[in-house]
Amino acid sequence: MKKIILTISAVFMMSGVFAQEKEIDAALKAFESKNNTAAKSELNKVSGLLTSNTISPESLAKYYYVSGQIALNEGNTIEAAKQFGELAKYESGTMFSVKNKSTKATEYYATQAEADKAAASGDYSKPKQENLKSVYLPQIQESVTSMAEKTLQAANTAYQAEKNEEAGNKFLEASYLVKALGGNSQLFKYNAALSYHRGGIYEKAFQAYKDLIKDEYTGETVSYLAKDKEGNEVPYSSKEEAENHKKLGLIASYKEVKTPSMEKELYLNALKALSGLEKYDDLVETITKKYPQDSEIQTVAGNIYHKSGNEEGFLNKLIENTKLNPADPTNYFNIGVIYMEQGKDAEAIQFFEKTIQVDPKYKNAYNNLALVKVKPEKEYVEIINANLGSTAKEKQAYQEYTKKRKDLYISIIPYLEKAFELDKTDLQAASTLRKAYQAGEMFEKEDQMRAIEKSLGK
């Protein structure tokens, strides 16, 4: 027989697993003895090690049962709901186990694929399916059901009263409780996200959206609807149930009813919440790659780049958006603004002119064209002020650049006139146009605009 030699690290790993499970058992015993303080102390010893895949599902179920019960006793219902929701993962369905032949430790995985991957990575046994047993869920099912009903009622009441954070908290709590009961918990988590979002509580909204995306939530449901002999509609949650009732003659036929996917809405809302936070998250790349041709999603993603300070990313996204939606003038305008701020005047002018081409009534594009085109005035004024003397050279320079400044203003006046024409209640536009008339020595028009400016200022 082949001799097996365990390494020191392997022995430590095994003893660590046994210690964790021993502490969880001690926590359960303390809780059953009504010693919550001791139970919490034992749970705290292992709370940071729960991600270890060497703790058995049975021990993890004990941990979440005790943790949930303690939170419930302390009046922390949302934490209790969260812990009971985790409990359901280890007492319903199946898991897969593989044994490390070197350490003798058993590892547990949620899916066959994860177990196969682990088995292929070293000296492991063949993966084995473990059917999980419900030990603690039946003990709390009645109380959890009652809690879920009350919590959902409170969530709906808070939502109707537009108490958005309270509604979000209650919907989130309901999602954990429904998860423990084996129901559609994600729908309630989505309602929590929407409640937070409506209240401008973007951090909580985004986290809920992100969790749902990670869990691949789409909102799609399939049910089956039939009519009994009395003509009453009868819903079925599974095709098998409907088929059995049809065979028994309880119904004549049934139809499949599907709710549409809300995946795009979920992704878009996640981006909008992130935009409200004015920060960047890697989820932006995931979503934009998933919807490369969706102009609305790409636009919100661009705003996130802008608000988080990534102007280069914002510019690239705007350029992409002009290809997706060439009829949207805002993208061209924003590109022009970025180029203007970067001092790339020729490019800025090009995109402001494109904005006007797409939308001749885009007032700010006219104003910005005037701003960019009038930039040489600064240089002209400096030369004028440097040539106030009486020499022939100074007089020539003074006259030349005074004329250049005048001509410059005359060239931008049509843009300012158009901007004012589009909104004749804009005092700032009237004032800017009046000053341009003055600089262009169009004194009659200056007087007319001064009167308008005065009337708007009242």
User: Is 207 inside a domain boundary?
Assistant: no
* Residue 256 bridge partners (DSSP): 224
pLDDT at 11 over 80: no
User: Is 82 inside a domain boundary?
Assistant: yes
User: What does the alpha-carbon distance between residue 84 and residue 107 come to, in Å, rounded to a whole number?
Assistant: 23
Q: How confident is the model at residue 440 (pLDDT cuts 50, 70, 90)?
A: very high
Domain of residue 122 covers 8-138
In angstroms and rounded to an integer, the radius of gyration of the C-alpha atoms of the chain is 35
User: What does the alpha-carbon distance between residue 169 and residue 131 come to, in Å, rounded to a whole number?
Assistant: 33
User: Is 77 inside a domain boundary?
Assistant: yes
| Same domain membership, residue 347 and residue 403 | no
CB-based contact 196:159 (threshold 8 Å): no
User: Is 418 inside a domain boundary?
Assistant: yes
Task: Annotate 28-50 with DSSP letters as a single string.
Answer: HHHHHTT-HHHHHHHHHHHGGGT
Q: How confident is the model at residue 18 (pLDDT cuts 50, 70, 90)?
A: low
Cα–Cα distance list, 121 to 69, 101, 124 (Å): 39, 12, 8
| 157-170 residue pLDDT tens | 999 999 999 999 99
| Same domain membership, residue 442 and residue 405 | yes
- What total number of domains does the chain contain? 3
pLDDT for 60:
92
Nearest CA to 76 out of 136, 36, 131 is that of: 36
User: Is 424 inside a domain boundary?
Assistant: yes
SS3 252: strand
pLDDT at 16 over 80: no
| Same domain membership, residue 407 and residue 326 | no
- The rounded percent of the chain whose pLDDT value lies above 90 is 57
Nearest CA to 166 out of 82, 77, 270 is that of: 77
219-228, 237-246, 352-361: which is most confident: 352-361
| 141-156 residue pLDDT tens | 898 899 999 999 999 9
Sign of the C-alpha dihedral, residues 389, 392, 395, 400?
negative
User: Mean pLDDT throughout 342-350?
Assistant: 94
CB-based contact 456:427 (threshold 8 Å): yes
| Same domain membership, residue 17 and residue 120 | yes
Q: What is the pTM of this model?
A: 0.69
User: Is 291 inside a domain boundary?
Assistant: yes
* Element at 59 (helix H, strand E): helix 57-73
| Same domain membership, residue 393 and residue 276 | no
User: What does the alpha-carbon distance between residue 189 and residue 183 come to, in Å, rounded to a whole number?
Assistant: 12
Among 91, 116, 138, residue at a domain's last position: 138
User: What does the alpha-carbon distance between residue 192 and residue 171 come to, in Å, rounded to a whole number?
Assistant: 5
| 384-424 residue pLDDT tens | 999 999 999 999 999 999 999 999 999 999 999 999 999 99
User: Is 239 inside a domain boundary?
Assistant: no
Sign of the C-alpha dihedral, residues 143, 144, 150, 154?
positive
| Same domain membership, residue 342 and residue 383 | no
Lowest mean pLDDT among 130-134, 246-250, 322-326: 246-250
Among 327, 361, 395, residue at a domain's last position: 361
| Same domain membership, residue 346 and residue 412 | no
| 186-212 residue pLDDT tens | 999 999 999 999 999 999 999 999 999
Nearest CA to 182 out of 84, 50, 260 is that of: 84
Q: Residue 222: is it exposed, middle or buried by C-beta count within 10 angstroms (0-12/13-18/19+)?
A: exposed
SS3 75: coil
User: Is 184 inside a domain boundary?
Assistant: no
Among 361, 391, 420, residue at a domain's last position: 361
CATH number, domain with residue 329: 1.25.40.10
Q: How confident is the model at residue 19 (pLDDT cuts 50, 70, 90)?
A: low
User: What does the alpha-carbon distance between residue 296 and residue 287 come to, in Å, rounded to a whole number?
Assistant: 12
Task: Find the DSSP H helices in 248-328.
Answer: 263-277, 283-290, 295-307, 311-324
| Same domain membership, residue 118 and residue 69 | yes
| Same domain membership, residue 282 and residue 382 | no
| Same domain membership, residue 131 and residue 31 | yes
User: How far apart are the two ends of the chain, measured CA to CA in Å?
Assistant: 103
pLDDT for 352:
96
pLDDT for 75:
86
Nearest CA to 40 out of 59, 58, 21, 23 is that of: 23
| Same domain membership, residue 396 and residue 299 | no
Q: How confident is the model at residue 245 (pLDDT cuts 50, 70, 90)?
A: confident
Nearest CA to 56 out of 94, 9, 86, 17 is that of: 17
| Same domain membership, residue 86 and residue 40 | yes
